[in-house]
Structure formats: structure tokens, C-alpha cells
Structure 1
Amino acid sequence: MRPINYTMIGLMSGTSGDGLDIAFCSYELHNQWSYEILDATTIPFPKDLGQKLMNSHRITALDLSLLDVDFGRWMGEKVKDYCSEKQIKPLAICSHGHTVFHQPSKGLSLQIGNGWALREASGQKVINDFRMKDIQLGGQGAPLVPIGDRLLFSSIDFCINLGGIANISMESKGRRIAFDTCPFNLLLNAQANTLGAEYDKEGAWAKEGEIDEKLLDALNALPYYGTTEAKSLGREDLENDFIPLIASSGLSSKNILRTLVEHYSYQIAKVISENQSNDTPSVLITGGGAYNSFFIERLEHQLGSNWIQVKASNELIEFKEALIFGFLGVLRLRNENNCLASVTGAKYDSSGGTIYS
């Protein structure tokens, strides 16, 4: 039987707000799924657009609606230029969009980047809005990446993505489970900004700081960490729970960075330790935080060196989420489940995503 092959473009605009990831990928089904990242690039947001996206949760309804269309059109134009330059024709463009609001308890998760604007500007079939069906089924609508972890990275015990928010995915008793473990770059980058940089390169400033036990204890005591059912973090949670603790601490930026890194490494190591099925679990770390060597050092310490970090290319580190959103689109076109109830807490597995053709 001949393998079935799909070529897709995955688009990812994460909560860190640094740019648009474009990944042109092929996916092949022959007994099991395999993938190849054929080409990938990141297009930085124009300064004005980047600022609008980062402040999108604070603007009027009309301005948000206009930004939705403008962002969709901008993405479409960039994809059209990319496809023209590379002389490629994917089956579809699969877009995550930019998250503005994420309040699943109220039945809401909003990712802007209008599908019709993206469709017309790119001239390509588009699939987006991957979260809302699951949320209407009572789920968190997040994380979405675990179905890709299960089908594309099945040999790895733990898949961790360190983006604006950190999440983890794993098998447990025959079920895929996953959730947001803690914030990550959203809080680290905010402190780096006060020191005059976009981010703390390799965690160098955090390494110079000192742990504040009072702030560390307060962060670890937040109710989110005591929740055992399906859960996810949104920008609102950071603003309501995490940022007030940081702001009231009176600490220097370096000491805040140091304390945050310790908090993150503790929380992530705790999840691994509680769910590992062997003495030296394999862990794949992707996302911008994978380059934070000081965090990796602290995670190593928290795990007592009893783990195996899976080597990942820079391409996989930077584009794994875009790769998997392309794969979510493949599953959507095949009318196969791309969202797992065991992960999100929904009533049942589903195939989410709106198709614009």
C-alpha cells in the first residue's frame, strides 16, 4: 500500500508576540505517521502590528475586530510571498492565530487572524479556529499539541514546550494527558525588558540573581498548582495571580528572574517525577525557552540528573508548534480527531478547525 502524503503550511503566533512562524511540512501515513519540515522561517511583526497584538486584550471591540481582519490579511500576504518565493503549493494553510482571550470556564477562547482575510490574501485554503469546538464540548481548548506529540513523537516520554506559557504532554495509563505547567517567557521577557533586552539570553541575568524564598513560596502556593483536572493558563491568569505577586515583591529584575527560573524548574520537575514510568525518562524540550541554558541547568538539578534530554535541531525547537498545527489541519481534512478529551476535559474527542476554501 502506497503511503499517503500531505504537504501543509503551519502558522504559529505565540503568546510571546515575537513574530509569525511559517513551517512548510510534509506528513506521511504508512502504518504510522512521519513528518519532515521541508522549510521554515520566522517573520518578525512590524513594530506597530506587534504592539497592537500585545495590547489586543485591552482595546475596544471595534479596534479588535479591525485588528482581526488586518492581522489575517497580513499573514495571508506573508504566506503568499513565501509560497511565491519557494514556488510551493500546500494543500492548506493551518493557522493558530493570536490568542487575545482564553477563558474556557466561560466558553470562550479567542484567536484573531480572520480566516477569510487570510484565505483571500494568500489565495490558499485555510484552516483555523482550532479551539472553540472543544470548548463548547466543555473542554479547555488547550493544549492542542498533544495529538501531534502522540502520533509524531510517540517514542518520547515527555514533550515540553517552553513558549510564553510552558506546557507538557505525556502518556498515562493508556491515555494522553497534557496541561500548562506554569508561565514561562511571558514573565521572563517582561523582566528582561526592564533591563533593556527582549529576553534574558541563555538565562544569564537570572543566573546572576538570587532566589527570594518568600516570592518562591507564594508562587508555588498559587491555587492553579493544586488543580488536578484538565487545566490551562491564559494571559488573564498571569495578570490576576502571578504578576501582582511579582510586582509587590519589591525585588530587582535579576532576583525576580532567578526566582522565576527556580519556580519553573521546580514545577516542571515535579510533574515529570509524579508521572514518570521509568528511572530515566526521555524529555523533548522545544520552544524559545529551550535556549535558556540556565533553566535547563536548574531542571537538571531538580531532577537529580535522572533524565535523558532528547537532542533537538534548532529547526524543531523553533517550529515544532507550527509543524503540529499543520498536522492538526491534516487530521481535520481527514475528519479525524485532532483534539483529545483526555487532555482538555471535553465530553469527547473531536475534530476542530474551521475550513475556508
Structure 2
Amino acid sequence: MNTSFKYIIGVMSGTSLDGIDIAYVKINNNYKFEIITATTVAYNKEWKTALKEGFHLSGEKLTKLDADYGIFLGEKIQTFIEKNKITNIDFIASHGHTIYHNPAKNYTLQIGNGPYITSITGIKTICDFRSQDIALGGQGAPLVPIGDMLLFSEYNYCLNLGGFSNISMQANNQRIAYDICPVNIVLNHYVTPLNIEYDDKGIIASTGVIQSKLLDELNNLPFYNETKPKSLGYEFIVETIFPLINKYNLEIKDILRTFVEHVAIQIARKVESNSSKTILVAGGGAYNLFLIERIQSYTKTKLIIPNNTLINYKEALVFALLGFLKDEDQNNCLKSVTGASKNHSSGIIFTPY
């Protein structure tokens, strides 16, 4: 087996709109890896608004946003390459930014894809990792669990706390994974009137009071009783979560407190309570100390918070791995995770002219 490393730039933009995560990593066929350098490019107000409103755009305007965002990604990646004086790059693996995700109706859309990135950087780009899985009857998500399986097998569970929470684990000699519930995409939305982007460490939430009726309604939403595989998109937030919360006309701190408790309960329901087992936590929610405290209060299984680099760039790392597997013509989507008809190697490769 060839154990030489490939050098990859992994690019991720999550639904919580924190920014673009760009990670320069090396990976080999033994799945040894290193995050060599990484950065997050924060969205300015205009880009944050444009991506948030992409869900409501006409076809023509969304097509233009796709092109503009692809150019934007290409420029930011090129700046990253030049700033870090990177000369050895096998390819770029870009997730893009999800606008629509509705596998039940057979569609998903991640904008900002490869031709624009390739034309600006002159580097082979692999992208569109979700569409093929949906075409094969899968959810197109979550995709990170193959990285959990290959890179972080020492943990019993891998939990991501991003715009949505998702979890993966080994069961019956196969990897299973699914989205659990929304997290930062909701919490961040409700602090917007306070002119802040997020509730730092969960301090505001910790001062609120749990609203039991809202909590009960949230915990009894039908999605939480649906069978796996299952995944969530922004549609669920707009059509279900926001209207449910808004009808109560609550103070911001009480909304945050109640929703944090909801998230903690839903996550704890998905893990065994066993002091000998561990959960690796990544994503921006790992910095929400109050949320971590509430999750831990419901389970004996120990939550492991890794170093900041891994918290921030685990998803960018894993999309680099998805690109690595695609480039090697190996499976990077697991039917046991997504519900697709077969394991497969997903993604589209664009090469420079």
C-alpha cells in the first residue's frame, strides 16, 4: 500500500454561518493525518445576509449567488495559499454552502462549487459530495461519519455541535450516524437583536428560565421519533422550530435556556450512559460551556473536548478526507449512515485547463 501523504486544502461552510473554514492537511492511506495550518474567514454582514436569504431567492438570483460565492471561495482559498506560502497541494476539497437540503423530495444544493475555485486557483477541486448519495436513495448526510470511523476510532461516539448536531458510532460492525437536532443555527438566530453573533460560553442562556410547555413541545416533535437514517435542513428550522418558539413570545434568555435544555436532552437520549465510554465533541458548540454542562448532566458517558484546532477544523479535515477517498476511487459515503442503496465514492472532480 502506498503510504505517502497527499496534501489537501479542505474547505467547509456550515449552516451556522460562522465563516469559511480552510484547512491545509496531509493524509495517507493509513489515515494518519495532520492539520498543518488552518484559518476561518468570517463572513461580513453582506455575505451573511446573502447566504441566509439564499433559501428564498428566485432561480436566476440563486444561480448568480452560486457563481458569486464560487468566486468568493476561490479568492479566499488563493489568499490562504499565498499567505501561508503553500506550494505542495494535490487538490482542494470543498463542501460549499448548503442552501437547500430536502432528501425526502430528492434534492440538495451546495453553492460555490468547483469550476470557479479551479479557475481562480489553478488547482484540481473536488466538490458536490451530497448529490450522488441522494440520487442513490440516501439522505446525502451526514457525511462526516466516515472520517469519524477512519480518523477517530478510539472514541465510542463522535458528536458535532454545529448549526445542527449529529452523532456517529459503531453498531453491529458498521458505522451509523444521523442528525439529532438543531443547535447553533437556532441559538445564534435569537441573539441577533442583542447585536451579538452568538451567546459566548452560553452565559445568557444560563441566566434564563426553562419554559416547560415549550420544552415539551420541542421534545415531542415528530422528527425525534422517526427512524434512521435521517437528516435535517434549514427547511425544518423555518417551517417548524421558529414558528413553535415564536408563538410563546418569550424573553431571549428564556428561549436560549429552554432550547439549550432541549438540545441536551435530545443528545443524551442518543448515547449510552456509561462512565467507561467517551464522546469526542467538535464544532462551535463545544465552546458553549453551559450547553456542554447540560449535556453532561444527562449522561455518565464522558464528553471529551479536544484542542481548539480540532474543534474548529474537524469538518474541514473530514472533507479533505472525503476528497482523498474520491481521488483514490474509494468509497466515501456509507449506506449504513445515509440509507443509500450502496456504498459509493461521491463528489465531482474539476481539473484546471
Give the TM-score normalised by structure 1.
0.96
SS in 2 for 1:228: coil
Q: Secondary structure at the match of 1:170?
A: strand
Equivalents in 1 of 2:121, 2:257: separation in Å? 43
What corresponds to 2:8 in structure 1?
8
* 1:115 counterpart = 2:114: yes
Q: 2:25: which partner in 1?
A: 25
In 1, Cα distance between equivalents of 2:251 and 2:45: 28
**Paired letter, 1:203:** G
Alignment of 1:218-237 (within 5 A): 218-237=217-236
Answer yes or no: is the 8 Å Cα contact 2:282–2:305 preserved in 1.
no
1:330 paired to 2:329: no
Question: RMSD across aligned C-alpha pairs, in angstroms?
Answer: 1.2
Q: Helix, strand or coil for the counterpart of 2:270?
A: helix
Task: Report SS of the residue matched to 1:52.
Answer: helix
Structure 2: gaps (5+ residues): none
Are residues 1:135 and 2:173 paired?
Answer: no
| Mapping 1:224-263, distance limit 5 Å | 224-263=223-262
Match of 1:349 in 2: 343
Give the match for residue 72 of structure 2.
74
Does the CA contact (< 8 Å) of 1:73 and 1:114 recur in 2?
no
- Cα distance in 1 for partners of 2:322, 2:135 equals 18
Amino acid of the structure 1 residue aligned with 2:278: S
Task: State the SS of the aligned residue for 1:271.
Answer: coil
CA contact (8 A) 1:9 1:24 kept: yes
State the shift of 1:214 in Å.
Answer: 0.2
The answer to whether the Cα contact below 8 Å between 1:149 and 1:159 also exists between their aligned partners in 2 is yes
Deviations 1:195-215 (A, max 9, x none): 231100000010000001100
Distance in structure 2 (CA, Å) of the matches to 1:139 and 1:263: 27
Aligned to 1:61: 59
1:142-221 matched pairs, under 5 angstroms: 142-221=141-220
Q: Distance in 2 between matches of 1:147 and 1:191?
A: 33
Structure 1 runs (4+) greater than 4 angstroms displaced = none
3-state SS in 2 of match to 1:272: coil
Cα offset, 1:279, TM superposition: 4.3
Q: Which amino acid aligns with 2:288?
A: N
**1:262-289 Cα distance to aligned partner (Å, 9 max, x none):** 000000001012xx6x543111111100
**1:281 and 2:277 are equivalent in the alignment:** yes
1:308 maps to 2:302: yes
* Structure 1: runs of 5+ lacking an equivalent: none
How many residue pairs end up in the alignment?
350
Q: Secondary structure at the match of 1:55?
A: helix
Q: Distance in 2 between matches of 1:210 and 1:268?
A: 20
Q: TM-score, normalised by structure 2?
A: 0.97
Could you tell me whether the CA contact under 8 Å between 1:72 and 1:118 is conserved in 2? yes
Deviation at 1:74, TM superposition (A): 1.0
What SS is found at the alignment partner of 1:284? strand
Does the CA contact (< 8 Å) of 1:80 and 1:123 recur in 2? no
Give the percent of matched residue pairs that are identical in Structure 1 and Structure 2.
Answer: 46
